[in-house]
């Protein structure tokens, strides 16, 4: 496994250092996969959880553009929510 990126989870029961979101490249069934998974930091060291997913290289390439669309949509909705809250 080749870890690319790691960040503490900010979601529910995994926040406060209990879980990390980890992006890795892993060999699996004779292919290389892009793996994004939640790691449990409460157990000794770090251990994978079943919470996550694996993508083929082609799927990961398709996801890049869609992440940009999702981020833009989320930012736009946050701006709308902030304007409503300020009114």
User: 37, 24 in Cβ contact below 8 A?
Assistant: yes
Segments in the chain below pLDDT 50: none
pLDDT of residue 5: 94
The Cα–Cα gap between 76 and 56 comes to: 30
Alpha helix ranges (H) inside the chain = 57-86
The model's pTM:
0.78
The Cα–Cα gap between 15 and 74 comes to: 21
Which DSSP helix (H) or strand (E) runs through 3?
Answer: strand 2-8
């Amino acid at each position: 496994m080749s870890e690319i990126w790691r960040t503490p989870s900010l979601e529910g029961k995994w926040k406060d250092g209990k879980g990390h979101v980890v992006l890795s490249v892993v060999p699996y069934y004779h292919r290389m996969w892009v793996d994004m998974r939640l790691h449990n930091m409460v157990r000794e060291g770090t251990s994978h959880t079943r919470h996550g997913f694996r993508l083929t290289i082609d799927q990961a390439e398709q996801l890049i553009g869609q992440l940009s669309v999702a981020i833009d949509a989320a930012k736009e909705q946050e701006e709308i929510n902030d304007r409503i809250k300020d009114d």
